[in-house]
Structure 1
């Protein structure tokens, strides 16, 4: 899977902008807050993935009967 497949190619995409942001201008506190926010977003994405996998497994078992 290519990074463009994940991030998209639009220049106005918020994730693309986030990844391109210059971190040199941020303080240690700002960087720590950013890491905390990103870790929260990772946890939210993982929970969504787990729910989708569980939902799919439930659907598959229902229709395999």
Structure 2
């Protein structure tokens, strides 16, 4: 392997913590819901699908088509 698994695991853990820190400023319930939905879809399916779904969720919430 080009990068040892232990080093890769540490880098990914730190990266995840750093990305999760961006969610700390979210105060509205709808923002938190979008973050959870995108994270779940990204893990379950594909990050591209999660991005599109998150984009549609945000636009739907902004236009009041979706209420959370």
| Alignment TM-score, normalising by the size of structure 1 | 0.41
Higher relative contact order (CA 8 A, sep 6+): 2
| Alignment TM-score, normalising by the size of structure 2 | 0.39
Which structure is larger by alpha-carbon Rg, 1 or 2? 1
